[in-house]
Structure 1
């Protein structure tokens, strides 16, 4: 079954108070549980990113990545539908969805 990479994006780092953080973690847990075995790798949050180009290193990345997950789905459309209920989306951010392409070596 095809695998898809979810990259979580937001314009600003989230700094919720402890109560909001607990609610957010519960929402993530419910969403992940709802995916069941289609969630291949729940992923991890990531730290502040930089962008490396031929012109140098940029300290500010617009719409920076905040984490990732890997899921299985039959189609890109199914993978996108599964992402719609993600707490990043419902909280005002976005989920980038890309199929993971296997390379035969």
Structure 2
């Protein structure tokens, strides 16, 4: 089964930002090494597009991953040690629609 993890940032104290970024990449690399992460995207310079405008993105999403797991419960279990959790971050998990 495929799941989309949407990463929403927390409130990381400035003096812990470098360590947090290091821990986040290590966590993602571990998911990939274990065969769970199929695709990763993190970026900056984001835009929000609507019918009336193209604006700078101003929310808290900083990346997404496509995760392959046997069940939603297994996908959820992969998030328990996500380094952003202690700072109020969260991961939204979307299950892919059955394509047929």
Q: TM-score, normalization: structure 2?
A: 0.68
The yes-or-no answer on 1:50 pairing with 2:47 is yes
Query: How has the CA–CA distance of structure 1 residues 20 and 61 changed in structure 2, closer, same or farther, with 3 Å as cutoff?
Result: closer
Query: How has the CA–CA distance of structure 1 residues 80 and 53 changed in structure 2, closer, same or farther, with 3 Å as cutoff?
Result: same
The yes-or-no answer on 1:3 pairing with 2:2 is yes
Query: How has the CA–CA distance of structure 1 residues 44 and 80 changed in structure 2, closer, same or farther, with 3 Å as cutoff?
Result: same
- Match among 65, 78, 83 for residue 82 of structure 1: 78
Q: Aligned residue for 1:38?
A: 36
- Match among 24, 29, 32 for residue 26 of structure 2: 29
Q: Aligned residue for 1:61?
A: 58
- After TM superposition, give the deviation of residue 87 of structure 1 in Å: 1.7
Structure 1: stretches of 5+ with no match in the other structure: none
Structure 2: stretches of 5+ with no match in the other structure: none
Q: Matched residue pairs, number?
A: 99
SS at 2:6's partner residue? strand
What CA distance in whole angstroms lies between the structure 1 residues aligned with 2:81 and 2:64?
15
Q: Any conservation in 1 of the 2:6–2:61 contact (CA below 8 Å)?
A: yes
- After TM superposition, give the deviation of residue 66 of structure 1 in Å: 0.5
Q: TM-score, normalization: structure 1?
A: 0.66
